[in-house]
Amino acid sequence: MDSPEVDAVERARAGLCADCVHARRIPSSHGSTFYRCQRADSDPAFRKYPQLPVIRCDGYVRPEPISAA
């Protein structure tokens, strides 16, 4: 996802994809939001557009926290 901060509503709707570093949010012109798994580009074990919410994923990687400098 593009931002490390994820609200509870988005987490409930998308599951692990809401903050996985491999997921990209794709907003549609009709108001829907899809999550595209970029791991699917190199590993066929992952679905390009997984069914949400994702509650378990072997490819899930939590984003690094942003540290204050």
**Cβ pair 62, 19 in contact under 8 A:** yes
- Predicted model pTM: 0.80
pLDDT, tens digit, 9 for 90 and up, residues 19-41:
999 999 999 999 999 999 999 99
Q: Is position 63 within any domain? A: no
Residue 36 phi, psi (nearest 5): -105, 125
What's the rounded Cα separation, in Å, for the pair 23 and 9?
17
Residue 62 lies in a domain: no
Please state, in angstroms and rounded to a whole number, the distance separating the CA atoms of residues 42 and 69.
35
Please compute the mean of the pLDDT values over residues 3-19 and round it to a whole number: 85
Q: Residue 53: inside a domain, yes or no?
A: yes
**How many separate domains does the chain show?**
1
User: Is 64 inside any structural domain?
Assistant: no
CA atoms within a 13 Å half-sphere pointing along the CA-CB vector of 32: 4
Strands 23-27 and 33-37, by their bridges, are: antiparallel
Q: Is residue 65 part of a domain?
A: no
**Residue 26 within any structural domain of the chain:** yes
